[in-house]
A and B are shown apart, each in its own frame.
Chain A
Amino acid sequence: MSAMQSDRESCLAAGMDNYVSKPVRTTDLQAALPQATDFSMPSISSVALGKLRELEEDGAPGIVSELIDSFKESTPKLLSQAWNAFDKPRQLSAIAHTIKGSCSNFGARPMEALCLRLEHLAPASGSGAARDLVAAIEREFLNVSSALEDHRVRT
């Protein structure tokens, strides 16, 4: 077992979620971060959904369902635009910004964090990192969608 491997083992044994060795390389960190956001918090926040429910109590029945439908309809369109925008960093950043705003209404923190990272990804960092992020956002979108469906069924 190499020194690094044993370091990792002892870190994980101590209760850490992941391990990045120093000197920190951007690619290692980038690989570690999505995992961290994936596992450390729920896909959507019940507090945020509670606030949306208040709108229903205010006399807008069915609004939460309407929002979920709208989110599930608009996000895949934006994601497919993102898949075609790797050569247009500014457009990609704008798409990430829109998705971020969209999912933040449901308190979808992990998805929001991934979008924020894509939004601020330096154009110079190449499309490899951007592709990984879009793929991660897509995966997280599925988590958010099923969490929202759960919520819809429960209420």
Chain B
Amino acid sequence: VSGPDDISINLDPALESRLDAALLSKQTRILVAEDDPISSIILRTMLEKFGYETVGARDGGEAWDAFNKEPVRLIVSDWMMPGMDGLALCEKVRARSQTLYTYFILLTANHTNAENYALATAAGVDDFLTKPIDREAIRMRLSVAERILKYTAEIRRLKELIPICVYCRKVRDERDYWERVETYIQNETGSRFSHGACPECCEKELERFREQNS
């Protein structure tokens, strides 16, 4: 049996502070679904010390009720729980309509086999952590989760309707500032514009120029 003694990771302080910086939105709420009170206290204490707010649930059913009422972006869930288990919870989260992408971390025993990992991945689980939970291991997984959630937010924003002014054609960004289309696109995508004129405008401009000079 391998245990906590074998998976400790020691980080140097420089890397540690970079990891802290990576956990950018510290106010992210995490739903913790865990039937064992000891593991639940440890996990929630760790997460809260990292700066997260946590919501606890003692089984899958309780976790689903909490999520359905008020969805969170991050779930850390045990696999085996009385009633609804971790996989069933994940499937329900994935099937909920009109829900932002939720990053789902499943807690597994250290002897979980490949077949079970495949089952969990198929249910929509994003990442795995073995129990007992190692503090550094979960901190690193959370930084990955944050990164992916950040990208899903960006993709969503780009796919959504972009508010544009009918008169001046300025576009409203996420901070409610009105920007020129060029500025907006460049900020969002990094693409830059090379300015030219389309044939239609070219013709019009040419005509205006001739009128002014005739």
Contact = CB atoms under 8 A, between A and B. Distances in A.
Interface residues of A, number: 30
Contact of A94 (B48, B80, B111, B131): B80
Contacts of A24: none
A55 B38 contact: no
Contact of A105 (B8, B38, B111): B38
Contact of B3 (A45, A70, A97, A98): A45
A54 interface: yes
Interface in B33-50: 35-39, 41-42, 45-46, 48-49
Contacts of A55: 42, 45-46, 49, 135
B135 A54 contact: yes
Interface residues of B, number: 25
A58 interface: yes
A104 B130 CA distance: 11
B35 A66 contact: no
Given A48-B132, A51-B135, A54-B135, A67 B41 contact: yes
Main secondary structure of the interface of A (DSSP, over half): helix
Contacts of A67: 38, 41-42
A40 B45 CA distance: 32
Given A45-B4, A105-B42, 8 more contacts: A63-B45, A98-B35, A100-B109, A102-B38, A104-B3, A104-B131, A105-B38, A109-B3
Interface of B: 1, 3-5, 8, 35-39, 41-42, 45-46, 48-49, 78, 80, 82, 109, 111, 131-132, 134-135
